[in-house]
Amino acid sequence: LFICIDHVGLAVPDLDEAVKFHSEVFGWRELHREVNEEQGVAEAMIGTGEQGVENAKIQLLAPLNENSTIAKFIDKNGPGIQQLAYRVADLDHVSEVLRERGLRLLYPEAKRGTAGSRINFVHPKDARGVLLELVELPKDAAEH
Ligand code: MC0
């Protein structure tokens, strides 16, 4: 069903500060940044920065406002790992298979994720305590 781990998402209170920390301390590099109003986040994708190979990626997620799921997560748990994202080739197919297997998907239809990807989530209560994101990359996406 799954191609690979697309990214691990960390809830952070301050995006710039988080990018600086992960760059300076761990040597990650910023690959992409955007605001996703629908999801209530400002996000930065950071990676190993290697050219020509698939990057391991971490998504830093900062809340846009106090109603954001990320604000709620940080209030409850503090900053930390908020999600695990699996890359899939066909999101609609995988969503259907997982529904058949009794899991709740959060959205009836795919929503827009990072850089034009299509996304949905498995409810954390149905994935043993992990908020599982499913990501289908746009057809023209570079793999790294
Ligand atoms: C909540 N729970 C979690 C969790 N969030 N467990 C593991 N990981 C998480 N991230 C657990 C709580 O501890 C609680 O368990 C129960 O689920 C209900 O939580 P709640 O605090 O009442 O929160 P809800 O139900 O209001 O919201 C949880 C839900 C929400 C997962 C439905 O966060 C959501 O819709 N998430 C999907 C969207 C999202 O996360 N967007 C931001 C990333 P107990 O046992 O206490 O009942 S955007 C993104 O990722 C995009 C841009 C991308 O990658 O492309």
In a domain, 22, yes or no: yes
Supply the CATH number for residue 98's domain.
3.10.180.10
Q: Whose CA is nearest to atom 55 of ligand 1?
A: 113
For the chain, how many structural domains are there in total? 1
In a domain, 143, yes or no: no
In a domain, 142, yes or no: no
In a domain, 112, yes or no: yes
| pLDDT attached to residue 143 | 52
pLDDT digits (tens, 9 = 90+) for 58-114: 999 999 999 999 999 999 999 999 999 999 999 999 999 999 999 999 999 999 999
In a domain, 126, yes or no: yes
CB 48 within 8 A of CB 29: yes
Question: Could you tell me the pTM of the whole model?
Answer: 0.96
Q: Whose CA is nearest to atom 34 of ligand 1?
A: 69
The best mutation among 74, 77, 131, 136 to test binding of ligand 1, ranked by most ligand atoms within 8 Å of the C-beta, falls on 131
* DSSP string over 43-95: EEEEE---SSSPPPEEEEEEESSTTSHHHHHHHHH-SEEEEEEEE-S-HHHHH
Domain encompassing residue 49:
4-136
114 C-beta closer than 6 A to ligand 1: yes
In a domain, 141, yes or no: no
Find the radius of gyration of the CA atoms of the chain.
Answer: 15
| pLDDT attached to residue 140 | 81
